[in-house]
Amino acid sequence: MKRVKTAVVLIVTALLIAACGNGNQASGDKPTIRVGTKDFTENLIVGELYALALENAGYNVERKPSIASSVVHTALTNDEIDLYPEYTGTGLLVILQESLITDPEQVYQKVKDEYNKQFNATWLDYSQANDGAGLVIRTEVSENLDIKTISDLQKHASELRFASQGEVDQREDGIPALEKVYGPLEWKSSKVYDNGLKYELLANDEADVAPAYTTEGRLTEKDKFTLLEDDKQVWPPYNLAPVVRNQVLEANPDLADAINKVSAALDTETITALNAKVDIDKEDYEDVAEEFYESIK
């Protein structure tokens, strides 16, 4: 009887181990995909969305979050990760060091072609979510002076207090780039502040306009803050897209469909709202990503 009981225990244990193994390899022989992210909220959320999409498609996923922005591209080319969320403008200007292009499709095609040639990597579909440079104005001022675009802003600059970040006044792609196209921005006043203070300065009526990135969570507070339209398209697009090593994509072509579905669901308003849940509401980025993925899968 002891031998029979022992045999039963061993069989049951073996079945449990097999079941656990099958749970980890949801589709049998599909490999593990290493998903990297940069070290800020938005990239963490999007990388987690890619990971969830891959798991839903039967892949195992090894998450490698919070890689420094300065080295994440190298991590891809050195075969330390298989894919990560990147921005078209970053690919164009930082990695490839190409000249400025402002048309989103042209930027995408340029980085797609060059990454394939130079880095043996593929840009999958880009999303409409654009995390680019922008200017934010107090909504009260926007409504009172009817300022919706940077062209409108230029006409009223002498009435407005600018909360600068210092470098934006000097960088070629900052205020100088705007003034070349829109004309001089002769502010009523311009003072340099830490970037982290800008929304409080605006909310407290200590400034009227500040530089911003177009997907910052505080921009969901539209009763307080209005993002101005870059109506003459001075600034380059920074559309989100997955970059994947060709070797991995060629071996697993169906992963493209899984991740492209995520990209198709992301626009600027959506990713801004997701950022707000983490940065303002203090939710965990994994929970925010999982809730959103459940709504689109």
N-terminal to C-terminal alpha carbon distance within the chain: 51
Residue 166: predicted pLDDT: 81
**Contact (Cβ atoms closer than 8 angstroms) between residue 289 and residue 45:** yes
13-27, 111-125, 241-255, 260-274: which has the minimum mean pLDDT? 13-27
Per residue in 246-292, pLDDT (tens digit) is: 999 999 999 999 999 999 999 999 999 999 999 999 999 999 999 99
3-class SS of residue 83: strand
Give 192's contacts (C-beta < 8 A, 6+ positions apart).
164, 165, 166
**Contact (Cβ atoms closer than 8 angstroms) between residue 238 and residue 111:** no
Residue 159 has which token pair?
């009435």
Per residue in 58-77, pLDDT (tens digit) is: 999 999 999 999 999 999 99
Residue 32: predicted pLDDT: 97
Residue 10 scores a pLDDT above 70: no
pTM for the predicted model, two decimal places: 0.85
Residue 244 has which token pair?
């994947």
Residue 197: predicted pLDDT: 94
> By C-alpha distance, which of 57, 40, 192 is closest to 131?
40
Q: Span 130-134, mean pLDDT?
A: 95
Strand partners, 243: 84, 123
Residue 87 scores a pLDDT above 50: yes
User: Please, what is the average pLDDT of the chain?
Assistant: 91
**What are the backbone dihedrals phi and psi of residue 221, each rounded to the nearest 5 degrees, phi first?**
-85, 70
Residue 19: predicted pLDDT: 40
Residue 87 has which token pair?
């921005």
What distance in Å separates the CA atoms of residue 157 and residue 78, rounded to the nearest whole number?
48
Residue 28: predicted pLDDT: 60
Domains of the chain: 29-130+239-296 (3.40.190.10), 133-227 (3.40.190.120)
Give 247's contacts (C-beta < 8 A, 6+ positions apart).
120
What distance in Å separates the CA atoms of residue 124 and residue 134, rounded to the nearest whole number?
26
Per residue in 133-166, pLDDT (tens digit) is: 999 999 999 999 999 999 999 999 999 999 998 8
